[in-house]
Each structure stands twice: as C-alpha cells, then as structure tokens.
C-alpha cells in the first residue's frame, strides 16, 4: 500500500506525563508541534489525556483532526500493567483490534496516521505473537484505518525479518538512539535502504556525554543553538524524525527552531563520530 502523508519534522512524545498530559500536549501544539506520539499503554502513557489535549487544541483553533499527525502503539501484555486496553484472554489479533478501537475512541477519530508495534516480545527474534500482532496491524492498514505502520524498540535482525516477510512493510522505526552505538547506525542503515523513516527518541537523555561535550558548545556558538538543540539539528540532518517530550515551553520553541538551522557537513560528521571515541 502506497500512502503519502504530510509528515511533521518533529514528534511530541507523551510518555511519563500522567496528570499533566492534557496540559502539556496542548502546550506543545500551541508551540507549533503537529505530530503527536502516544501508546495505549497506561503503564507509561495517559492516552486519554493526550486525546483531551488534542481535542482542546482543535476546538480552540477551529481545526479538524486532519491538521495533526497522530501516532499510537499496540503494546504486548508483558509491556502493560493491570490497566489493559484489551481482554488478556483474547488471542493477539483480537487484542490488536481491541486496543486500536480503544485508541480511536479516545481520539474520536476513525483512523490513525501511524500505528506502531511497541516492540517485539523477544529481544532477539520475532515470535509467533509478534507476527500475529503484525498481521492484525496489516489488516488495519489494508482497510485504511491505520495509514502507515511502524515498529519500535527493534534490532537490525528483527527488522530484516519483518522486511522479508511482511505483506505491509513498516514505514517507521522508533528506537532509543544511543550515540555510543553510532546513533543506531545499523538500524538506520536498513531504514535508509528500504525507505523507512527512523524516529529517534531519548536523543538527549540517552546521550548526556554528547550534550555536555565541547564540540556541541562550539557548534552552538556558531549557530546560536543550545547543545540540546544542536542534537536535534543533527538528528534532522541525518534524516531522523526526532521526538522530544519536554515540559518546558521555552525548550519546545527552541527545539522547533533547531529545524531551521543547517549544520555544516563537517559538524554532522563530527557528531556522528564523537561518542564512538573517534574524535
């Protein structure tokens, strides 16, 4: 299925915000974010609060749902707590349908722009449960309820297996991105090879040694960006769709401004190499 959507340059991540979720989502949208990432996983997300913040923004500005890019996730039982969005006794395909229907109800919509498998159930392979979930997600895509599919927290070998046997291939990979691992170089390489957009999260919290480095201060002095914003400018320069989950309005506006700053090729190369001990 070939689907073309207008993708935002940034996603606002909504994990770990609890009772502040509604207000923080509204704040991010007011700052200019148009892409929202969440999950129907009450353990780490408050998806109802996300939907309330989205509804507040759309209502206040007279916009319809199509003004925003909405992405949610299906989370296997092992990644959930007791607050489940599906019947734990149901088979995995039914759980996907139930979780997806619950998300649509939260957002009062009949489609999602992106639906993501929140991670394989094994750290090394794709299990039968993962394939059952993916086949159910393919059904959502084939009937147009999920415009695009993705997978999160995935290793290169797992992504290769998915690309080899999926009827509807992933259009997104969302991974925690460590500089010391070459900014997830192997997975990003597969994404580039197969036209997949790489969504990088924890770009700041996973990489304090980079944020605090002299190199980023030097680049910041040239560009006028803070070190955190240099990281986001770098991510954009190498083709990532970055996530930020800041609760600070000033930081959110600065992060969006980083998208307008072009780093020099030699700066991009230096950041690629810094945490691998090559600089």
Domain range summary for the chain, segments of one domain joined by +: 11-170
Give 274's pLDDT tier (boundaries 50, 70, 90).
Answer: confident
CA 19 to chain CA centroid, nearest Å: 21
Q: Which helix (H) or strand (E) holds 70?
A: strand 69-74
Residues 96-117 have pLDDT tens digits of: 999 999 999 999 999 999 999 9
Say what the pLDDT of residue 53 is: 98
pLDDT tops 50 at residue 55: yes
Q: What is the pLDDT of residue 19?
A: 98
Give one DSSP letter per residue of 215-230, joined into a string.
Answer: HHHHHHHHH---HHHH
- Domain at 11-170, CATH homologous superfamily: NADP-dependent oxidoreductase domain (3.20.20.100)
Is the pLDDT assigned to residue 256 strictly greater than 90?
Answer: yes
Is the pLDDT reported for residue 5 higher than 80?
no
Q: Residue 87 is encoded by which pair of tokens? A: 């019947």
Sign of CA dihedral 106, 107, 108, 113: negative
Q: Enter the pTM of the model.
A: 0.95
């Amino acid at each position: 299925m070939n689907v073309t959507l207008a993708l935002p340059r940034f996603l606002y991540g909504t994990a770990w915000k609890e009772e502040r979720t509604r207000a923080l989502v509204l704040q991010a949208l007011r700052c200019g974010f148009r892409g929202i990432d969440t999950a129907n996983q009450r353990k780490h997300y408050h998806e109802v609060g996300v939907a309330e913040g989205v509804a507040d923004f759309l209502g206040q500005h007279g916009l319809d749902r199509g003004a925003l890019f909405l992405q949610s996730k299906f989370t296997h039982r092992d990644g959930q707590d007791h607050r489940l969005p599906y019947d734990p006794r149901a088979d995995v395909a039914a759980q996907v349908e139930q979780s997806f229907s619950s998300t649509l109800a939260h957002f009062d919509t009949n489609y999602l722009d992106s639906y993501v498998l929140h991670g394989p159930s094994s750290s090394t392979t794709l299990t039968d449960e993962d394939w059952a979930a993916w086949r159910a997600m393919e059904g959502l895509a084939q009937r147009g309820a999920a415009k695009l599919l993705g997978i999160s927290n995935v290793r290169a070998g797992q992504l290769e297996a998915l690309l080899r046997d999926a009827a509807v291939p992933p259009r997104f990979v969302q991974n925690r991105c460590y500089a010391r691992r070459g900014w997830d170089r192997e997975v990003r390489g597969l994404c580039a090879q197969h036209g997949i957009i790489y969504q990088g999260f924890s770009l700041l919290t996973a990489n304090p040694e980079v944020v605090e480095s002299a190199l980023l201060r030097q680049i910041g002095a040239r560009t006028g960006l803070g070190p955190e914003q240099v990281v986001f400018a770098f991510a954009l320069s190498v083709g990532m769709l970055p996530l930020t989950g800041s609760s600070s309005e000033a930081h959110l506006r600065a992060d969006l401004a980083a998208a307008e700053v072009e780093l020099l090729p030699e700066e991009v190369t230096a950041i690629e190499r810094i945490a691998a001990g090559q600089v």
